[in-house]
Amino acid sequence: MGFFTKDIKTMEDMFLHGLQDIYYAEHQITKALPKMIDLATNRDLSKGLSSHLEETRKQIERLDSVFKKLGKEPSGTDCPAIDGLIKEADATAGEIADKAVLDAAIVASCQAIEHYEISRYGTLIAWAEELGHDEVVRFLTTNLNEEKAANTKLNTVALRKGVNTKAASAA
């Protein structure tokens, strides 16, 4: 299914495509996070990312439940947006030698990913409500709230746990 083959005819098709997109994205995130956790030096940052990795695995289980409730097989579809965000995160990290600066870059890359997820879940919830899929809204809302909390935690790590201050004083 893809936008260019015009397989999406109804809003229902589009909703399903959106679910497959975020399903793929969450899987890619579980593959990308361990690398960022390894690279992070700040303890609050690595701990925060580790707990979000666990949350992300649970989010995938919730998406499995969403597909099940809709009577569909869980499946993903290529999401060039998340691939791009992860690729950029890797490329940026590869360019940075200083550990403190790298921590600030990891926060920035992860926040871009969280904002992407927040945007997608927000849309999916609105579409689910419009289409009368009230039985799946709860699962999607839990995921959305976790993404928002993860983003807030990243703000705290950057602004109040020393990540940005240390990065700024790196020679």
From the list 36-44, 58-66, 71-79, 96-104, the region that binds Fe ion by CB under 5 A is 58-66
Q: How many residues bind Fe ion (CB under 5 A)?
A: 7
**42 vs 59, beta carbon nearer Fe ion:** 59
21 touches Fe ion (CB under 5 A): no
Structure tokens at 9: 């005819």
Q: Does 151 bind Fe ion (CB under 5 A)?
A: no
Query: Rounded CA gap, 97 and 171, in Å?
Result: 11
Q: Which two tokens mark 14?
A: 């589009």
Q: Does 147 bind Fe ion (CB under 5 A)?
A: yes
Q: In 10 A of CB 168, how many CB atoms? A: 10
Cβ count within 10 A of residue 77:
16
User: Is 59 an interacting residue with respect to Fe ion (CB under 5 A)?
Assistant: yes
Q: Is 131 helix (H, G, I), strand (E, B) or coil?
A: coil
- Interface mask (CB under 5 A) for Fe ion, residues 113-142, using x and -? -x--x-------------------------
User: Which residue's CB is nearer to Fe ion, number 102 or number 140?
Assistant: 140
Task: Using the minimum distance from each CB to Fe ion, give the nearer residue, 110 or 163.
Answer: 110
Smallest separation (angstroms) from Fe ion to the CB of 14: 20
Instruction: Report the distance separating Cα 81 and Cα 155, nearest Å.
Output: 23
Q: Which residues of 81-117 are buried (b: 16+ CB within 10 A; e: fewer)?
A: ebeebbeebeeebeebeeebbbbbbbbebbeebbebb
Contact region with Fe ion (CB under 5 A), list: 41-49, 90-98, 110-118, 155-163? 110-118
Question: Binding residues for Fe ion, per CB under 5 A?
Answer: 26, 56, 59, 114, 117, 147, 150
